[in-house]
Structure 1
Amino acid sequence: MEFLEFEDMGWGWTAVLPGFGLLADEGYTSPVDLAGPALKLWNVKEGTARAKFGELSVRLPISPFPGVIGTALPSKGRFSTIPPRENGGNMDIKHLNTGSKLYLPVFVRGAMFSIGDTHLAQGDGEVCGTAVEAPMRIKLRVNVVKRAGIREPLFVTSGVREFSKYLAFPGMDSNMWVATKKAVKSTIAFLSGYMEPVEAYMLASTAVDLKVSEVVDQPTWIVTAYLPTEIFEEKLEFPRPS
């Protein structure tokens, strides 16, 4: 299928939901409370989502995509829609934007295709559990490719807009899950100098890209969190004076 057009309604939201997200099991307590609930509303106009995070004004270029898109699973039963699977589902891949082509395996007669959970913008990782969520109308072209031989999703994309400058936070550990958490915590710690920690968590989810930087120098893995500095109207200080 090819994604042709996304039409937003001029607004979006990001939230921290108790018990959900990368750091939900960390047991944060006051004054560093990331448990939520917390909500941030975005105003969307002329291709940009805007919101205030503490003392910073944030402008995110939007690149709409569906968080959930898939066909029916090959087995019968009741399944949670949270984890993605071989049929697609809740993949939350921001590169499935306008112009991209996605190929999904068909396991049952009629495919039982579905799509939803539309996002205006998201950091790779969606760490707090939500992106810039928003209602949308989607136009796409669907074709059936017989005997394609795929058993899991694959896609072709021209990518999303890249920024010219980032502040990056490497997380290092022998466990990649722990390394990821370290990178996100470092990002939150820095941003918390400008906003509440739970706001920093939401901003990381919508704007910060997680990338695997290194996997071969065992036993240490590196996951780096990339914060684009161009999204802020104000100039960030780093290191920030205490």
Structure 2
Amino acid sequence: MAQLDALRTGVSGARAAEIDQGLRAHMNKVYGTMSVGMLITFAAAWALSGLAVTSDPTGATAQISADRYLTDLGYALYASPLKWVVMFAPLAFVFGFSAMINKMSAATAQLVFYAFAAVMGISISSIFLVFTGTSIAQTFLVTSIAFAGLSLWGYTTKKDLSAMGTFLIMGVIGLIVAMVVNLFIQSGPLGMAISALGVLIFAGLTAYDTQQIKTEYIAHAVHGDQEWLGKSAIMGALRLYLDFINMFMFLLQFMGNRE
């Protein structure tokens, strides 16, 4: 890509090789941190859903299927006004994290990212109440394959994807607005349209973000900005993590079998 070639202009062969080696280590850290975050999210979601549902009607607060009942914890999380806090907590968390990361050390930023992953797990734990475990696993596998292919393409392509960034971000804003509206009108066709557009938008963001992470690393490595490099892998992991989670959640609307 011409943009990356321009960044390397004037860099010696030895220095360029050092940057390339650092880039590989950087991307490994990005994907590794993201993977740990995903593990925390789904472990938290699965564990919490197990505490929220019981097959024993004694002391249960609400029935959700023929042989499943909400515990007091489940009712608080999914049926009381607290559900709105649970639903929007990750959004508030990620905005706060992005605003404060420049004041954090790399180690603190990593811990905060893992805390965010746990909060996201709490927020999406209801999927284990709504969809079968098999369909969740199948959707996760399909999302993983799609994500890997899109991220690999974003990393290796010579095409500059920066032009699509603004369009995709505008699409995300439009999605959020449409999702909030649909919380109140509960339109099935609008919900399916949102899911379809969500899959496409976050598929594009996966490739775009991967290329941006690569480009930004090279730009800062050329200038030796070590302080930035220490925290950039965490922010890169956050970006790809959000792409994966959103693509998974939107795909689940199509592929998930409901309980």
Q: Which has the larger Rg?
A: 2
More strand by share: 1
TM-score (norm 1): 0.25
TM-score (norm 2): 0.23
More helix by share: 2
